[in-house]
Structure 1
Amino acid sequence: MEIRKWEDLPEDCLANVFRRVGMESLLLDVPFVCKSWYRATLNPFCWERLDFYNIMFAPKDYLFYVIFDDDGVRMVHRLMVEYRIKEFSVDSMIKFLANRSSGNCIVLDLPANGCREEVFRFVIDKCPALRCLSFSCNLFKTDHLSIIQELIEKCKHLEFLNILDFTVSNLKEIVAKIGRNCQHIRGLGAPFAYIGEEEAAAIVTNLPNINYLVLTHSRIDRKYLVEILQGCKRLFHLDVSNCSGCKIDDKLLELASHIHTFKYEV
């Protein structure tokens, strides 16, 4: 029986394997094995998932990096050594990989402490097929609401949107926009949000079939949590950990009994 070598596999087969190994291996391991593997890593389908969450901007000049955990430290150090980079630019890295994906990126995690508005607009234009997006508005200079609305209009295939460090006061407008433009939406993350009467009504009215809702560290009164529990019958995962304004009791737990994962702090 003939045994085929990995390097002799067709490029599309290699790309189908390599797209599962993660961004770090695609940049720092796979390309250096052999020429055929290097060529395979240039296939846009290898870059469906881009994760910059742990590589964070330094707000003063954007040329140096601040690292969120040890994985980020290792990856950036290896990049600088392997590619002989003297000054690491998160801006350039994000743009480079967004371009390499050629519109095939479906999962994008931007730096946890934010990215520049210009970079954000760039990747949204380059990645129209996004299904899952996580980002922070922390470094945006323009009105946050207008930028998010622009994103929602362009990325109509979104299934999960996570807005880190939620500082936008117009949640009801954002939810309404999502409901009108993103027919495939299944999850919303809005930590640190304020959930009042209008916000709760907007969630129930515009996202009644939502499966995942993350409202950690938010302000939400009991009656509005009840409204969401009663109005969103298809919730599979609800996270209200570290929220203020509402104490979880037996009655609320009974209302939430249909939810597979209900995270809270008593």
Structure 2
Amino acid sequence: MEDERKWEELEVDCLMNIFGRVGMESLLLDVPFVCKSWYKATLDPSCWQYLTFPDLTVDRYLDFDEDGYWCTLIKRFVDEYRLDESRFSVTAFVKFIISRSKGKAIYLRLSPCASEDVLKNAADECPALKLLSLPSRLVNRNASIIQEIIGKWTNLEYLVLGSSYNLENFLGQISIHCKNLCLLSVANADIGKDEAMAIVNLLPKLKQLILKKANIDRDDLVTLLQGCNELVLLDVSNCIGFDEEDEEIAKLASHIANFSSQGSTLYDDDDYYEGHISWDEDIYGYGSDW
């Protein structure tokens, strides 16, 4: 009987393909300590193409989020590498993770509390990004910085924002620098006349637009429907400002292969915000590769 092949003897390319999917904590604190070949594989930038940072603060690890996940990760990292807790910097840690990708990261989801320094570092160190996800707190607190750096991601195809704050200015930079953008998702947005016109005028070739749980008046939705002629997906479900059974809206949207307005209503009510989802609701399942 032939000897069974051992995990540590797998080809490096195969290992890297697997390790790129295991998640940040395992990639940092589990996989490298199995054997030398696994450790070597984790150093390859292809293992760090998908960078997802959960909620954290920018000061000390003892101040981290309530659910304990990130605190546990940081505590494990500090303990494993015997670092001085009093001198540990979350900003430096995040920059260290980003540096592992060596410019090959294609997916980046930053923490709501990421510092200005982290944002600028990500813009410089992740030029190949195709999907960028920014939570609401980060957008609201660093709008001017994001506007300044977003044009550096010239390969961007998917943009997920947790807030519509400063949306017009963001889209202005995107229209100039990010010619491949095909999906825009904005959570809990306030879409008025100016925002609707910005989407129409600045992103005329947009393919997918996700505005779940937005505040958007009927006239502004009509503007989007009449102006975004290349949409294949428009999700305006559970919005406030128009009725989901509006026949004219349905007619204007008839050319869009995937259109959803389910749950949308003209007015808010006491039950609307019960079970309101967080900014980073899964955007998968909309025909993208993500």
Output the TM-score relative to the length of structure 2: 0.76
1:7 paired to 2:12: no
1:243 paired to 2:244: no
- Counterpart of 2:220 in structure 1 is 224
How many angstroms apart in 2 are the aligned matches of 1:100 and 1:150? 24
Q: How far is the alpha carbon of 1:31 from its aligned partner?
A: 0.8
1:187 paired to 2:186: no
- Counterpart of 1:25 in structure 2 is 26
Q: How far is the alpha carbon of 1:130 from its aligned partner?
A: 0.8
User: Tell me, what secondary structure is at the counterpart of 2:223?
Assistant: helix
What are the equivalent positions in structure 2 for 1:157-176 lying under 5 Å apart?
157-168=155-166, 171-176=167-172
Q: How far is the alpha carbon of 1:202 from its aligned partner?
A: 2.0
User: Tell me, what secondary structure is at the counterpart of 1:104?
Assistant: coil
Contact 2:139–2:161, Cα closer than 8 Å, also in 1: no
- Counterpart of 1:130 in structure 2 is 129
- Counterpart of 2:118 in structure 1 is 119
Q: How far is the alpha carbon of 1:42 from its aligned partner?
A: 0.6
Contact 1:57–1:64, Cα closer than 8 Å, also in 2: no
How many angstroms apart in 2 are the aligned matches of 1:187 and 1:178? 12
How many angstroms apart in 2 are the aligned matches of 1:212 and 1:77? 40
1:67 paired to 2:65: yes
Q: How far is the alpha carbon of 1:70 from its aligned partner?
A: 6.2
Gaps in structure 1 of 5+ consecutive residues: none
Q: How far is the alpha carbon of 1:241 from its aligned partner?
A: 4.4
Report the count of equivalent residues: 259
The one-letter amino acid paired with 1:40 is A
Q: How far is the alpha carbon of 1:8 from its aligned partner?
A: 2.7
- Counterpart of 1:151 in structure 2 is 149
When the two chains are superposed, the root-mean-square deviation of aligned CA atoms in Å is 2.9
Distance 1:123 1:62, change over 3 A: farther
How many angstroms apart in 2 are the aligned matches of 1:12 and 1:26? 16
- Counterpart of 2:97 in structure 1 is 97
Contact 1:222–1:245, Cα closer than 8 Å, also in 2: yes
Distance 1:211 1:173, change over 3 A: same
Contact 1:55–1:68, Cα closer than 8 Å, also in 2: no
User: Tell me, what secondary structure is at the counterpart of 2:242?
Assistant: coil
Q: How far is the alpha carbon of 1:262 from its aligned partner?
A: 2.0
Q: Which runs of 4+ in 1 moved over 6 A?
A: 140-143
How many angstroms apart in 1 are the aligned matches of 2:43 and 2:162? 31
How many angstroms apart in 2 are the aligned matches of 1:68 and 1:223? 42
Contact 2:216–2:242, Cα closer than 8 Å, also in 1: yes
- Counterpart of 2:39 in structure 1 is 38
How many angstroms apart in 1 are the aligned matches of 2:125 and 2:161? 19
Match 2:208 to one of 212, 219, 222: 212
Which stretch has the larger CA shift, 39-48 or 183-192? 183-192
